[in-house]
Amino acid sequence: MPKVKSKKKRAREDGDGTAATSSVPEVFTVQKILDRRIGPRGGVEYFLKWENYSESENTWEPEENLDCPDLIQKYELNRNAKATAETSPVHAPPPPPPKKKAVSEDKVHCML
């Protein structure tokens, strides 16, 4: 199952009713990779849709935080295929035929 480990620490309640911080990272499941960018520090980041979360909860995450190599590979293959298809000359329409020049009647010379 594709997952990412968050660097956020989970707050829990101690026996005395006060909040304590656990060093155990939360683990979330990636449903789908939606986009890719180069982040502010120059590394690759992916825009993720999280399983069981709404679209408003989608986030950009650095590649090194992710543990979903199959999803990353699938996304990159689709991304490369789209880029190739967009630049391929096979899909370009053929050029229009050359236009013929109209001959005006006053410049036509006939010999009888």
Owner of token pair 């991304």 = 79
Task: Express each pLDDT in 13-29 by its tens digit.
Answer: 555 555 556 677 788 99
Element (H, E) at 35: strand 19-38
Cβ pair 38, 44 in contact under 8 A? yes
Task: Express each pLDDT in 42-97 by its tens digit.
Answer: 999 999 999 999 999 999 999 999 999 999 999 999 999 988 877 766 656 777 88
Looking at residue 17, its pLDDT comes to: 58
Mean pLDDT of all residues in 34-41: 95
Looking at residue 45, its pLDDT comes to: 97
Distance CA 67, CA 56 (A): 22
